[in-house]
Structure 1
């Protein structure tokens, strides 16, 4: 009874120390696992932009000076990011390209004379609607980061444009319908820079393919602002961060030794309890008899790192094991030498395994166990494979088990 009380007190003290040294598990968002989808009302934005374009058509290269080919344009869009990678936008665009045409050209500037080369300047104004699909290349290739400053966004789409030309009416030069409207497709790369939580500035390099009588190209450079409404970030799955094992090898060996001693003490107490129960039930055995546990693994002998010699405590355990083996000389036992694979190298670890298992075998033989009962071998794996490198001290051992 006194032993049981002492063991209980020791267990309480050990548990208290463990709790004091334990670190709490923390929970963090891990965006490497993906993101959680937001509500439909989240991740909306509005974009305003303006810039310059150059019309590249059949006659436009005939303009004598390049500066006379630079036109203006602007756009206003509303859009939504469906995920950190994919989104869309829709809105209106306005363009005023310049170029060159022939005398009968639809968009000829009626109040200007011809160039020296015989071509006439042209200018027209287009207003239309547009829909674009957007791909955030940075989030796609590098993973989502909520505080990233730069994002490269590829966008492409199509639209329809109503065109106006300068024409005379009753002697007055006015903007009038050209009756030469067109469809267009566009592709661009928007370079976004985050300046505030809800505000981006950007430079957009874009090109349009215009469907006139002959296909024409309208490259442009734009600058603008994007304002994000409400929630514009993405939540990531929450994962647990477990504390790392901070014990040294020496501390780990000491813990293993304490656990082994506690296990031996618990085994002794269980046998004493069983004997007392048998006595109370009238099934008491002779006082000289012993009670042994019938288990597959009879014992495990542990070693400090890089050691193969037996300590006094381990020799005491082996003497008890020899007593059990001598009770039934018909039983055979498998002795297996182990070493952890996280330290040393293959040559050193093989030598340790062989030295450990041969040392145990020789000591058991010296205690009277027949050598024919003992089969000594080594195992190149880890004894506690499921627990990884943190349990390396548990792999430095010799296991003794009954052969089946």
Structure 2
């Protein structure tokens, strides 16, 4: 029993260590669930064939279908998945056994590590129907008829077919290798030193069901890099808008400083006209045609209102930055950005026949001191 506890403890530590490594890799990008999530129970019916260690040299047929070595069994198990690829279960099986024409009652308890290779090699997919799950473990078995306890090892393959988020059908093939004294008389018969004949071997095929308890799926971790990139693009768009507005303020200050005295009314009229005809910028993320920040459309809406009230024409000019993409791609990108802004103007009530467009392709218009992202824009202005 001490050996069993040592083996199970070692298996548990190994699986926990491997689970930490698995969560650290990009392929297993899922959030860690609580301890009470991803538990399952299983029940199944087996047909097993026992190869008794003591039958070596006795001339028994090796066929697993012979009635003197095969019998139906039942099994139950409870387990937990610690990650989409690694889990543990405790499984009990048995009832009736046969070995070399001897019948006996027994049970076999195994602690097993499960390896879902479908998730480990192909990535986690909550909608996957079939999962290929090898397993290996160790435990103890008891021959109730002869009152014998032995240690045992187990390996096998669990083929799992999901029919819902909660229920799966199992087809399991396994091998249990017991110590050679599992059946009374095993050490008194002509024993072989060969691998197969030196121990009692049990082969089985099992059909059963798995029922998932509580939460059975895994949430994907947020794409932190994508969130950071989106936030940075929004910051760049705001900075570009501020740079445009600052440049326009400086231009207006210079214009007002150099303006010659004139009658009050014409000066006011001219200033209003100059302000109205100032281009308004709408910014885009790299290689995108969707407006990066809906706040950019606030100034466009004010300009659209003026155009409708004064029956003015509007020019929309699209740009891309010259530091990325080919000229052909940038030309098409600038056209699409201009057209996107046109659609926004139409939604604001501007007649499409009052809008004209231009596409400048890849440019570097805002100077070497401005970030390259500032050139990914479209401008909207009133024209005569």
TM-score normalized with structure 2 length: 0.49
> Which protein has the larger Cα radius of gyration, Structure 1 or Structure 2?
1
TM-score normalized with structure 1 length: 0.47
